[in-house]
Amino acid sequence: MSTSGFVQEKDKHEGWNRPPLIEPDGEGELLEVAMGPHHPSTHGVFRMDVALDGERVIRLKPVFGYLHRNHEKLAEGFTYLASMPFTDRLDYICPLTNNWAYALAVEKLTGQEVPERAEYLRVILGELTRVVNHASAIGFLIQEMGASGTPLMYAFREREKILDLFEALTGARMMVNYMRFGGCRVDATPAWLEGVRKVLAGLPQFADEFERLLCGNEILMARTQGVGILRPELAVNAGVTGPMLRASGVNYDIRKVDGYGIYNRFNFRVPLGEHGDIYDRFMIRLLEMRESFGILEQALKDIPAGPVMDPKAKLRGFRPKPGEAYGRIEAPKGELGFYLISDGGPNPYRYRIRPPSLINLTILEDMCLGMNVADVVLIFGSVDIVLGEVDR
Amino acid sequence: MKTVEEIKAAIEAAVPGAWVEIVPNPSVSGQHSLRLAPEHAFEVATFLRDDAELSLDFLSNATGVDWLDKEIAEKVKVAKTVTKTLDGVDQQVEETVEETRKRVVPGYLEAVYHLFSVAKGHGPVVIRIRTLNRTDQVSLPSLTPVWRSAEFQEREIFDLFGIVFTGHPDLRRLLMWDEFKDHPMRRDYVEPDDFEYEPTAHDDVLKRAEAHRAKLAAATAVQEGAGA
């Protein structure tokens, strides 16, 4: 038995929240496989160094940094506003929630008010983003299970409709650069809101269709139920957030806990899982999508007229007073936070992103140990990450 | 939720000898933080997690901050004996003169942790631990055994800021490659020049390359001196 690259010191695993290490059985040699960085299931450039005993995973070490561009360092050299377009490129599936989290953190730092209409627009865009993200996440997950094409194209069909809406409002499908400190960049026209209503009217039918197509599928159930189980205590301790955490049965949704923006006004439920396996994560995303439809309906009904920017907001010569602030939102992938330190200058002294994708991967090894190598792909897919955010 | 003052009192009552300082936050966010001494940070963190009332079971964000050496210019009044010529006679006169004195406040690296409670739904409680300086005494206790979510985040701080977390089970670089030498998030980090990618190196580029090599050599000498 030889393993060249792996640290296998047992004492490193004792005394802190780690699973017991699995010992290989028999006399066979361990096989080391580098899954990635160009493995199609890694959603970008990400590597897992896996040690296998036959088909069983004995060790798994994630390797990051292939997409690292030190966004945090870049932001220290730019003004506050100039970092806004860069946030689009973090989690490029959900640029609008990234914008929102950054705007929220700056607003906490400066105490700017956001007009009603802008808050409603943010909720509408945030929930549309959640639908886009969850639909694609499920599509990709099924794709990795071997159902090539069909489910992913179902998801992408709806995604395109929503991206068209984003394009109509912001000018870009993905690199939206839409939110500002104290509001939003441009107002939505009545025709655009009508367009959202039209797309929204078709979404529940899509969810039904998608659910019918997938949920009763025998192969899907066999591959996902009881696989990649994450215990709730470990999930909380490891800082896992978002649908991953709720699939393990922990009721923690920042939209409810913090009630940031105007989320207190909406009536929605937080779906919780029971087993914390891949199937639960997949179901939680489906259910969350349905709750998002409800929020969207309420927001579209109540959206008031008015300005979308705080008239006192200053875009040029923007210099927050010295101090610091941590602002966070419930992004589709989990808790997305921005931590800013201002020294009174035009650039942030420190600009930190709390990436949900990276921190949700902390327990990847724990979930994969003892599983088959084919399950690793699924477990990894069920975490739902985007490498732009993991590596920043 | 308890205020920072109450949390400070609770920590001091529960962990004997713990030193806690409140770091006020002048911004409107009102997120004041608690600075802990590295010696007791681990016990205090365990207390914060396990205390029934606080139960800060969720470490959301862990990050580093680099504070450079600060030069402070102060005006000091000094009494001086000055020789003056009064009425044609030299006299010794006591005078108060204002002098500008400069002193350097040494910089430090700091780890900042944002804690929340999933059980109680409150937060954030911000704790900060600082190193003694930026060069040779840069180790802090790792909080990974208390909150697993610090595992990758402390690796990232180690990678980008160069804080060494003692007690971390697997302290390696996270984002940069293993052979990489410097810590790019430090404020005084010198970016590598791009001369190597110049297709045809000519006079100006060669000069820049030379200057860059000299700069790197100087930086390495300082680092090695600090490491030894």
- Segment A350-367 shows an average pLDDT of 90
Q: Which residue has the higher pLDDT, A41 or A289?
A: A289
With pLDDT > 70 as the criterion, what percentage of chain A qualifies? 93
Q: How confident is the model at residue A2 (pLDDT cuts 50, 70, 90)?
A: very low
Range 156-215 of B in CB contact (< 8 A) with A: 160, 169-170, 173-177, 184-185, 189
Least confident span in A366-370, B81-85, B169-173 = B81-85
Q: What is the longest distance spanned by two Cα atoms in chain A?
A: 73
- For B188, which residue in chain A has the nearest alpha carbon? A73
- Testing the interface with A: which of B1, B4, B23, B29 to mutate, by most A Cβ within 10 A? B29
Domains parsed from chain A with CATH numbers: 10-63 (no CATH), 71-391 (1.10.645.10)
- Testing the interface with A: which of B148, B155, B165 to mutate, by most A Cβ within 10 A? B148
Domain ranges of chain B: 4-66+108-166, 70-104, 195-227
Q: Does A252 touch chain B (CB under 8 A)?
A: yes
- Asked whether the predicted pLDDT for residue A129 surpasses 90, the reply is yes
Comparing CB atoms, the residue among B27, B61, B160 nearest residue A109 is B27
With pLDDT > 90 as the criterion, what percentage of chain A qualifies? 27
B36 vs chain A: nearest CA distance in angstroms?
Answer: 18
> What is the spatial distance between Cα A199 and Cα A211, in angstroms, rounded to a whole number?
18
Q: Could A15 and B145 be called an inter-chain contact, meaning their C-beta atoms sit closer than 8 Å?
A: yes
- Asked whether the predicted pLDDT for residue A7 surpasses 50, the reply is no
For residue A122, how far is the Cα from the chain centroid?
A: 17
In 3-state terms, what secondary structure has residue B186? coil
Range 189-248 of A in CB contact (< 8 A) with B: 234, 236-241
Q: Which residues pair with A224 in a beta bridge?
A: none
CA angle A216, A222, A227 (to 5 degrees): 120
- Asked whether the predicted pLDDT for residue A16 surpasses 60, the reply is no
Q: Which pLDDT does position B226 carry in this prediction?
A: 66
Comparing CB atoms, the residue among B27, B60, B185 nearest residue A324 is B27
CA angle B42, A349, A241 (to 5 degrees): 50
Side-by-side strand order, sheet with B108-116: B20-23, B33-36, B125-130, B108-116, B58-67
Q: How confident is the model at residue A168 (pLDDT cuts 50, 70, 90)?
A: very high
Q: How confident is the model at residue B114 (pLDDT cuts 50, 70, 90)?
A: very high
B52 to A104, B19, B48, B58, B77: CA distances (angstroms): 31, 21, 9, 14, 54
Q: Which pLDDT does position A130 carry in this prediction?
A: 93
Read off the pTM: 0.84
Q: Which residue has the higher pLDDT, A281 or A39?
A: A281
Residue A131 in tokens: 């639908």
B31 vs chain A: nearest CA distance in angstroms?
Answer: 7
Least confident span in A164-178, A254-268, B28-42, B77-91 = B77-91
Q: How confident is the model at residue A53 (pLDDT cuts 50, 70, 90)?
A: confident
Q: How confident is the model at residue A64 (pLDDT cuts 50, 70, 90)?
A: confident
One-letter-per-residue 3-state SS of A206-250: HHHHHHHHHCCCHHHHHHHCCCCCCCHHHHHHCCCCCHHHHHCCC
CA angle B194, B196, B201 (to 5 degrees): 105
B62 vs chain A: nearest CA distance in angstroms?
Answer: 8
> What is the spatial distance between Cα B15 and Cα B47, in angstroms, rounded to a whole number?
8
In 3-state terms, what secondary structure has residue B102? strand
The conformational region for residue A34 under phi > 0 = left, psi -120 to 50 = alpha, else beta, is beta
- Segment B151-175 shows an average pLDDT of 89
> What letters, b where the CB count within 10 A reaches 16 and e where it falls short, cover A162-174?
bbebbeebbeeeb
Domain boundaries B4-66+108-166, CATH class: alpha beta
Q: Which residue has the higher pLDDT, A26 or A85?
A: A85
Cβ atoms < 10 Å from Cβ of A120: 24
